[in-house]
Amino acid sequence: MEDKILIFTDLDGTLLSENSYSYYKIIDFYNYISSHCIIIFNSSKTYSEIIELKRLTNDNYPFIVENGSALYIPENVSLNIPGKITKINNFNVVQLGVPVNKIINFCSSKKLSKKYVSNCYFLYQMSSSEIVSLTGLNISEVKKAKKRNYSLPFIWRGSIELLNEFKLICQKNNFKILKGGRFFHLIGETDKGKALRALLSIYKQCHKNTRFTTIALGDSQNDKDMLIEADFAGIVKSESKSLMNFRRSKNVFISEKISPEGWKEVLVKMPPIKNLL
Ligand SMILES: [Mg+2]
């Protein structure tokens, strides 16, 4: 039996610095881990944003976009994918969420518009300069962040009570609202945990003689679902957010440092990674 480690990692505030969106401070450690483990980016970022980062990491691992909405599996990775797949560029894509036009249709229903949707300030309604000042991304990165296929990020301008009502209505209609680092995200009935399970099951089916250990790393509420799913959970401390409450205590590691150093800090504490060092 072979052993293989799958690391599902969030990007902003977890692997990438919240301010510089870079991981250069731990690049040697990252490359070492990447040569021994399969590192899966599991982010609210879009395909266009992640593909840009992949130019730096230069690996051939699958990744997950827009909060668990789709799995992108490179064509030359030998995984048999059950069910419906779409081919986009050099990837086999498994859709778990719903296309963005369905979400827009849902939001444009009259009853919703008045009470709830009018309190949502959607990313697509913001000017590029506004997004630059909100996120610290540059103009070309903003363009990539706006190319969304499965999700509508927004800033909520109403009360918490109203937001909770809106969340329930979304649930009843098979949509979901998740809280990311900077935005709320309106998506289909999916999350990062569901995407972790879907990809892990593809790996397991194709590699029957491999024992997979899963690690998940995150910093925000929208990472909770994957942190719960994984054998080992690493929570990276955030500069801007309070530490998420996390009920499980077994195999949970919390960093003292922020990203990207916090990414390294939680991993080196985990027994399966210790064995590699
Ligand atoms: Mg994050």
Locate the domains of the chain by residue range.
2-97+191-274, 100-188
Task: Share the mean pLDDT of the chain.
Answer: 94
pLDDT at 113 over 80: no
* Least-confidence region, from 33-37, 99-103, 243-247: 243-247
Element housing 116 (H / E): none
Q: Is 10 a catalytic residue?
A: yes
How far, in Å, is the centroid of ligand 1 from the Cα of 43? Answer: 7
The region, left, alpha or beta by phi > 0 then psi within -120 to 50, assigned to residue 148 is: beta
Mean pLDDT, to the nearest integer, of 109-137?
89
Residue 253 — pLDDT band, cuts 50, 70, 90? very high
Does residue 205 register a pLDDT over 90? yes
Q: Name the more confident of 242 and 40.
A: 40
The answer to whether 63 and 50 are in contact (CB under 8 A) is: yes
**CATH fold match for the domains 2-97+191-274 and 100-188:** no
E strand spans, 106-196: 120-122, 152-156, 175-179, 184-188
Task: Determine the distance separating the centroid of ligand 1 and the alpha carbon of 206, expressed in angstroms.
Answer: 30
CATH topology for 2-97+191-274 is Rossmann fold (3.40.50)
Helices (H), 155-238: 160-172, 192-206, 224-229
Position 240 pLDDT exceeds 80:
no
How large a percentage of the chain has pLDDT more than 90?
84
Ligand 1 midpoint to CA 127 (Å): 23
Find the helix or strand (DSSP H, E) in which 70 lies: strand 70-74
pTM of the model: 0.94
- pLDDT band of 249, cuts 50, 70, 90: confident
Q: Is the pLDDT of residue 245 over 80?
A: no
Residues with CB under 5 A from ligand 1 (ion): 10, 12-13, 181, 219-220
Q: Given this model, what pLDDT does residue 181 score? A: 79
Q: How far is the CA of 11 from the centre of ligand 1 (A)?
A: 6
Q: Answer yes or no: is pLDDT of 254 > 80.
A: yes
pLDDT at 115: 87
Gap between the Cα atoms of 218 and 267, Å rounded: 12
- The span from the CA of 51 to the CA of 48, in Å, is 5
pLDDT of residue 123: 95
Q: Which of 3, 10, 12, 231 is catalytic?
A: 10
Distance from residue 15's CA to the centre of ligand 1 (Å): 8
Q: Read off the pLDDT of residues 139-170 as tens digits, 9 standing for 90 and up.
A: 999 999 999 999 999 999 999 999 999 999 99
Class of domain 100-188: alpha beta
Q: What is the pLDDT of residues 42-101, one digit of tens each?
A: 999 999 999 999 999 989 999 999 999 999 999 999 888 888 899 999 999 999 999 999
pLDDT given for residue 83 in this prediction: 83
- Dist. CA 239 → ligand 1 center (Å): 11
- The per-residue pLDDT for 27 is 96
